Amino acid sequence: MKLYYAPGACSLASHITIRELNLEVDIIKVDILKKYKTERGEDYYKINPKGYVPYLTIDPDTSISEGAVILQYLADQKPEGKMSPLEGTPERYKIQEWLTFIATELHHLIDSFFAKYHFTEAGLKFQKAKLHKRLAILETQFTDNDFLMGADYTIADAYAFTVMNWISAFGLDVDISDYKNISAYMNKIQYREAVQTAMKEEGLI
């Protein structure tokens, strides 16, 4: 298998999961900012016509895009690693609820702050208010739960960590200092061995 990634991008969640589960996957860097080439010099659009990361090639005929789906595929390769509830269980729908929340509510909302100069002042205020409402949901979740699925660390946490880490790592204009539970959650995840390994491999730390 091959995972196509860009340093610090949303693909970090898949990279973390690969290291958590000790899966045999080649990790291939892609320039998604300018040239859209892999580190091997290949035209990335020829590999993944969508042009974005993450992208997982399983065999010459099968590839998956969309991070939330790639994460589930990776977790299913080693069910004993318990990075996701099993297919067909009610908990599987619960983790899909969180993965969808992260993908549709958090990921692109936080992403939009990288280009905040596109916003009018009113637009920026609107985006901030919306993001704070979504962060408040997580702050409440972590009042009584260590992780999104309760006591167990899963792929949903790898994904939530990855996108919320952008706020501090890239100095985005969002004040999260009041979210004590989120801050404790982020620290707990950041110092996991697999997270440190993936971040080092991407040159982030």
Ligand X SMILES: N[C@@H](CCC(=O)N[C@@H](CS)C(=O)NCC(=O)O)C(=O)O
Q: Which residues in this chain contact ligand X in the complex, by CB under 6 A?
A: 6, 9-10, 32, 51-54, 66-67, 103
In single-letter form, the type of residue at position 157 comes to D
Coil, strand or helix at 27: strand
CB of 125 to ligand X, least distance (A): 24
CA distances from 138 to 44, 49, 96, 200 (A): 35, 34, 16, 27
Nearer to ligand X, 10 or 182 (CB): 10
Q: How far is the CB of 121 from ligand X (least distance, A)?
A: 26
Per-residue tokens: 27: 């990790």
In the bound complex, what is the minimum distance in angstroms from residue 32's beta carbon to ligand X?
4
Which spans in the chain are helix H?
12-20, 44-47, 67-77, 90-101, 108-111, 121-144, 155-169, 180-190, 193-201
**Please, which residue, 21 or 53, has the CB nearer to ligand X?**
53
What is the residue type of 199?
Answer: M
Omega prior to 54 cis, within 30 of 0: yes
Q: Minimum CB separation from ligand X for residue 50, in Å? A: 8
54 or 85: CB nearest ligand X? 54
Residue whose entry in the numeric block shows the structure tokens 């491999």 = 201
Closest distance of CB 144 from ligand X, Å: 29
Please state the φ and ψ torsions of residue 204, each to the nearest 5 degrees.
Answer: -90, -25
Q: Are strands 2-5 and 55-59 parallel, antiparallel or unpaired?
A: antiparallel
Closest approach of ligand X to the CB of residue 53, in Å: 4
Q: Which is nearer to ligand X, 95 or 103 (CB)?
A: 103
Beta carbon nearer to ligand X, 4 or 142: 4
Q: Cβ closer to ligand X: 75 or 103?
A: 103
| Angle, vertex CA 59, rays to CA 42 and CA 68, nearest 5 | 85
